[in-house]
Structure 1
Amino acid sequence: MTMTILGAGFSGKAIGALASERFPVYGTTRSGAKFAALERAGIRPLQFDGETISDELAAALSETTALVQSISPDAQGDGFLRLIPSLETAMPRLEWVGYLSTIGVYGDHKGAWVDETAEPTPLSNRSHERVLAENQWLEAGAAAGVPVALLRLSGIYGPGRNPFVNLDNGTARRLVKKDQVFNRIRVEDIARATLFLMDHREGGAFNVTDHMPSPSQDVVAYAAELMGVPTPPDIAFETAELSPMQRSFYGENKRVGNARIRELGFEFLYPDYLVSMQQLWKDGGWRG
């Protein structure tokens, strides 16, 4: 078994670190400055600018049995697929693909529950691009006879990227919008879910998210309580200074279920933010 991760960033690096305990893992990055961090995670780094497949990357792809795509798409869909003639030509040993997508593909459901049976109804341009890329990967996998798992991720956090860090550096805010909730997911559970789906050679869509969609201000307040620091004041969403992207996240309100992957036997280590935040604070791992 050999894995290649296209885009070994926050999630990709966590996947690679876990997978490297079992078999060789290659991971791409745009910058050679990030090679050392990938090597410390047990990942063999390769440079990939998203436009040209080097001889080194081509050689790694020829060995690859499991591929994880974590690079964001563009208006034409998946950039990597445009660079190869076909999956079977570029990766003759390929047995499974994991595509890291987002629950943003579901759009807005006004706080109602959704699962993988819901038709994607994306609102933002970036979510439209995700749906396009998802379909391209499913089509490519079907043509090659390789299962493609779409991991639809919620708000990602973990060591080094969490409300404790924001409270510590003074950037934490409690934005309040009536009845707004978000799902979230620990990066370690993304890694575990990826390997679980790979081991079972599962294809199709899977929501990789926690069990407890909650208002974001509640999570910040809980982190402040654990840290023993003052809770930041409420800021009304309507008057908050936000970038267009930040504001767009609040235009989608839904509760996303994760029953499908759990029915296969997967168990989340961090099923809700209460358990997760307690662990991050108690172990001191929140700093990263």
Structure 2
Amino acid sequence: MTQCPGATPQPIPPAVQEAYGPADLGSMPMFAGGFINFGYWQGIDLDGPLTEGDRISSQLAMYRHVLGALAPTEGLCALEVGCGLGAGGAMALEEYGFARVTGMDIHPQQLERARRANSGLLSRRPGRLHFAQGAAEDMPFGDGEFDRLLSVEAAQHFRDLDAFARETARVLRPGGRAAVTSFFVPDADPSRAGRLAELLDTFASGLDVAHTVPLLTGSLERAGLTGVRVTSIGASVWPGWDRWLSGTWKPDTWPRNFLRAYREGILDYFTVTVERPTG
């Protein structure tokens, strides 16, 4: 794998270092099955008791939603930016027929966990699944190395969306496609960041950044990517996530405030797709 000339290791923000290092966010009961996303709950009955199986299904469904937006995928090479424990990349390889999937994460401890968790698949399918350390803003890959790029619930941690967009355009081949899904501020109102910090500890601590959808789409367009499409999927995320949390967290505790922020119109969950032009 060719490293981008001049790529240098990027510093890990302290809150990200803690959450995905010693704190091991992925081991918490709110995240199950090796995934770290809020879930795509469409089709799951939220009126009855939710099981761990429902929770895992919601996280698998999030990846299927994103990968469906990248179709066709058969025989192609994909990069996941912010791969976490690697469960999504492994599922993508097994279900979507990619020739190769590379999971990239900034945190070395996450990559160690990902390699351990996927050791069986790495042995069964040598050369098909890779893990690499790198930052969204400075990817250690050659130009045009990937046909598809996905990022699932990681962009809220990125510090520089312009740099991420430039790197996305660079590592995609002409005609390649990317899909980013995460939670963003839906408009450019500057007051949103302060309110989110009041409601949600992750924004107050700096783990999450109050990026706006206009900022993300503008960054992608400035990088030369085209066909930008933005889809709100909050109605399929926030009620289910809150319903799952209600089994262990009381109302008005900070993680339950994600649904409150959504209802106030200051935060939503989006899928954004783009293409690298062929010309």
Q: TM-score, normalised by structure 1?
A: 0.42
Question: Quick check: which has more Rg, 1 or 2?
Answer: 1
Q: TM-score, normalised by structure 2?
A: 0.43
